[in-house]
Structure 1
Amino acid sequence: MRDLGMDDFANSGPKGAKALDPKNQRIFDLMARVRSTYFKTKNDDELLVKLRRIERGIQDGREPGHALIVMGESGAGKSTIVEKALKSLATLKDYDDGYGNEMRPILYVIAPPSCTMTDLAAEILERLGYESASIGRGASVYHKLQRSLKNYGVRLLVIDEFQHVLEAPKIKGPAYVTNTMKNMLQDKSWPVHLVLVGLPEIEAVVDRDPAEQMERRTDPLTLANLSFKEDGEYVEWIVNTLVEDRAGLRMSSDQPHEFVERLMHGARSRFGLIMHLITYAIEDALEAGHDEVSTENWIEAYARLAKSKGTDDNVFAEPAWRSIIRPVNRDGSLGPVAPIKSPKKGRK
């Protein structure tokens, strides 16, 4: 556990804007402390091992590019773990080339919804500083992208939410996405390594290559969810650390029975959702002016994540909480509780 840089949160409002009132400023500061605290899981070490392989391949210079596919369900915390791990690649930090140009060995982009390959290329160029009006369309955008990746020294391209690329309507067929990715890896003049991050279906980018070249250059990693048996004590420690050490609050004595199990069940054992519930509960307590986090705050946190105000389908309020099972939407929010089907009555 360590802070990710409190300066990133300080004075982040619009310049010239009126300052927050003292109460809201206190909440802002405490929530910044809470949200900036990083907790490792069993996925961190495995991801870093695979990224180190890519880092060594880049240093070698003789190898073609490789792709790491990081997959996980909605709410698993994929983006957070990848962003944290990338900071550990010391040889791939931004640097000045000696002529006043900033080189960007790692470029991180988020694929927009329903993103075609042309849209993705344009998004990458915008991240490199190009004005959208000057990017162009069609084949010219790919030539500009190829030159720009080399000009900016990009060796590792990270594409988050990659499922958006696979979901977009394809005029040229689904294999076109795979071929474009493969060409980036195989470019002899400037091979680029890839990290593709998204939902489990993004592994289809490998299946769409009939020559199976993509498979040889791809390393998949599926992020594992937590389990109460193995991780329950760790989750309890995270709760106490954030509530007490980071927010300066206390856990009230009225915590619901089997609290940690309820928390993990309500978050579908997905680390990102667990963290959301904890931060929501802390924020609710601070907004109410309380000095402790109570059952009431956990109920409100779950209702906020599920966008539901009822308590009969709330895991922190309902005695039969194990029967409350919600799907996780693609945006990481909780969906409605699935109705329980009653058994059909047979004829008498």
Structure 2
Amino acid sequence: MTVQTKAKRAINKIGAGKMIDHSDIQSVDIQLAKLRTRFITHQPYRDLQEQFDRLLRRRRAVLSLDTYLEAKGIAVVGASGSGKTTAVNRLISRYSGQTDPQDRNAIAEIVSLQIPSPATLKYVGSSMLHALGYPLQRDKPAAFIWDQVRHLLRERRTLFVHLDEAQDLYSNTSPMARDAVVNTLKSLMNNKDWPVGLILSGMPKVIDMINVDDQLKRRMSIVQLKAVSVSSHSNEIATMLERYCQVAELAIGKDLQNCDFRARLVHAGANEFGLIIETVLAGVEDALLAGHAELGIGHFVTAFQRKSGCIPALNPFLASDYLAIDPRAVMGTVSFNGMLTESGGKHGA
């Protein structure tokens, strides 16, 4: 059976569904928005929560004794699409001590910001002041800005600072700038007046930044969001699919209730937990908008094709040799004897 025939059969199998009007589409959009806000707990998140709770209890105990102890930090590391930012945001949302950063007089136990571009210490410090509710009015030197940051962290009683995409602080900078970054991070944690813990989330290059300094290594714990494999995560993937379908009120088609589909789903999501969830939600969206009562393989076929623009032969939900497909590539690429070929090339036609 050709890939094109398999594609037609997969799409035909899910049927035409029922026509939905504009009000139904709005209802589906709201339902999908609710699905996207759901958080699927996984082991790395449980590890993160346990480590953070321990550091938070330790910090509050020190404050209760009115004594000094340097703060510690956590690095949450994973590839793009692993779900590291979502995991940290979920963690932070559990604590009422995080307040509106624009409320200057309120306690803000946790302050979170994404590393801006350009990721210079001066610009990052300015963004930190803004997150603390005190945007910089005039241009100031980096040293002055970070003195203000340390002062305001104490004023706001901030216990932890979360820096997302932390690898940008260290990548593509000079050795002198890298040293300044490491020293600045350490100065936040060992400040005698008000030490602040760090949560650094980012790509694996964050580890390179930590490893250059023995003091930073000693103060940081690591939570890694490793690549997902069907051999080790098959049950978790099946449970995740079941939960989403339950909330969406969709039956799970028989063609999704097997290890082959789960293996294809994992590969389509580039073996990253966050991307796998996005792929599932894309299939669910197709089913709901088509007015179908059952989620089937055809929904994943069309959802992946719409996202990547690939031809059927480079769709991991159809191709026999789907492991050769690069699921992150727009228009699709496939490896033949170590060589990549685009979907419009000789091998992809």
Is the TM value for this pair above 0.5?
A: yes
Cα distance in 1 for partners of 2:318, 2:238 equals 19
Cα distance in 2 for partners of 1:38, 1:228 equals 20
Residue 295 of structure 2 corresponds to 293
The 8 Å contact of residues 125 and 142 in structure 2, kept in 1 or not, is answered as no
Letter in 2 for 1:173: A
Cα distance in 2 for partners of 1:335, 1:205 equals 35
Cα distance in 1 for partners of 2:297, 2:23 equals 27
Cα distance in 1 for partners of 2:181, 2:142 equals 14
Residue 104 of structure 1 corresponds to 108
Q: 1:220 to 1:234 in 2, by over 3 A?
A: closer
The 8 Å contact of residues 310 and 331 in structure 2, kept in 1 or not, is answered as no
The 8 Å contact of residues 44 and 223 in structure 2, kept in 1 or not, is answered as no
Once the two structures are superposed, residues 196-249 of structure 1 have per-residue CA deviations (whole angstroms, 9 ceiling, x without a partner) of 00011101222332xx22222121222233321232122112112212x21122
Once the two structures are superposed, residues 290-322 of structure 1 have per-residue CA deviations (whole angstroms, 9 ceiling, x without a partner) of 3332322101332345x2331111111112223
Cα distance in 2 for partners of 1:133, 1:335 equals 46
Cα distance in 2 for partners of 1:44, 1:144 equals 33
Residue 242 of structure 1 corresponds to 244
Q: Which of 86, 89, 97 is the aligned partner of 1:80?
A: 86
**Which ranges in structure 1 are unaligned for 5 or more consecutive residues?**
1-19, 344-348
What displacement does 1:185 show?
0.8
Using structure 2 for the length normalisation, give the TM-score. 0.80
Q: 1:164 to 1:237 in 2, by over 3 A?
A: same
What displacement does 1:100 show?
8.8
Residue 190 of structure 1 corresponds to 194
The 8 Å contact of residues 324 and 335 in structure 2, kept in 1 or not, is answered as no
Residue 14 of structure 2 corresponds to none
> Is 1:143 matched with 2:144?
no
Q: 1:217 to 1:335 in 2, by over 3 A?
A: farther
Q: Which of 143, 156, 170 is the aligned partner of 2:160?
A: 156
Letter in 2 for 1:240: E
Once the two structures are superposed, residues 233-284 of structure 1 have per-residue CA deviations (whole angstroms, 9 ceiling, x without a partner) of 22112112212x2112223345597211110122132110110001111112
Q: 1:205 to 1:335 in 2, by over 3 A?
A: farther
The 8 Å contact of residues 77 and 225 in structure 2, kept in 1 or not, is answered as yes
Residue 225 of structure 2 corresponds to 223
Q: Which of 253, 265, 268 is the aligned partner of 2:267?
A: 265
Q: CA RMSD in A?
A: 2.8
What displacement does 1:88 show?
4.2
What displacement does 1:28 show?
1.9
Q: 1:247 to 1:150 in 2, by over 3 A?
A: same
Residue 340 of structure 1 corresponds to 336
Q: Matched residue of 2:292: which SS?
A: coil
Once the two structures are superposed, residues 99-132 of structure 1 have per-residue CA deviations (whole angstroms, 9 ceiling, x without a partner) of 9921101011111244111111111112222335
The 8 Å contact of residues 310 and 332 in structure 2, kept in 1 or not, is answered as no
Cα distance in 1 for partners of 2:305, 2:197 equals 41
Q: Matched residue of 1:70: which SS?
A: strand
Q: 1:221 to 1:233 in 2, by over 3 A?
A: closer
The 8 Å contact of residues 76 and 271 in structure 1, kept in 2 or not, is answered as yes
What displacement does 1:172 show?
3.5
Cα distance in 2 for partners of 1:300, 1:177 equals 46
Identity %: 22
The 8 Å contact of residues 104 and 134 in structure 2, kept in 1 or not, is answered as no
Once the two structures are superposed, residues 26-73 of structure 1 have per-residue CA deviations (whole angstroms, 9 ceiling, x without a partner) of 122211231122221111221122112210231113211112111111
Cα distance in 2 for partners of 1:277, 1:180 equals 39
Summarize the alignment of residues 203-222 of structure 1 with structure 2, pairs less than 5 Å apart. Answer: 203-209=207-213, 212-222=214-224
Residue 276 of structure 2 corresponds to 274
Cα distance in 1 for partners of 2:215, 2:338 equals 50
Cα distance in 2 for partners of 1:283, 1:232 equals 22
Residue 323 of structure 2 corresponds to 322
Q: 1:284 to 1:108 in 2, by over 3 A?
A: same
The 8 Å contact of residues 111 and 159 in structure 1, kept in 2 or not, is answered as yes
Using structure 1 for the length normalisation, give the TM-score. 0.81
Q: Matched residue of 2:170: which SS?
A: helix
The 8 Å contact of residues 71 and 78 in structure 1, kept in 2 or not, is answered as yes
Structure with the larger helix share: 2
Residue 180 of structure 2 corresponds to 176
Summarize the alignment of residues 24-39 of structure 1 with structure 2, pairs less than 5 Å apart. Answer: 24-39=25-40
Q: 1:40 to 1:135 in 2, by over 3 A?
A: farther
Q: 1:143 to 1:294 in 2, by over 3 A?
A: same
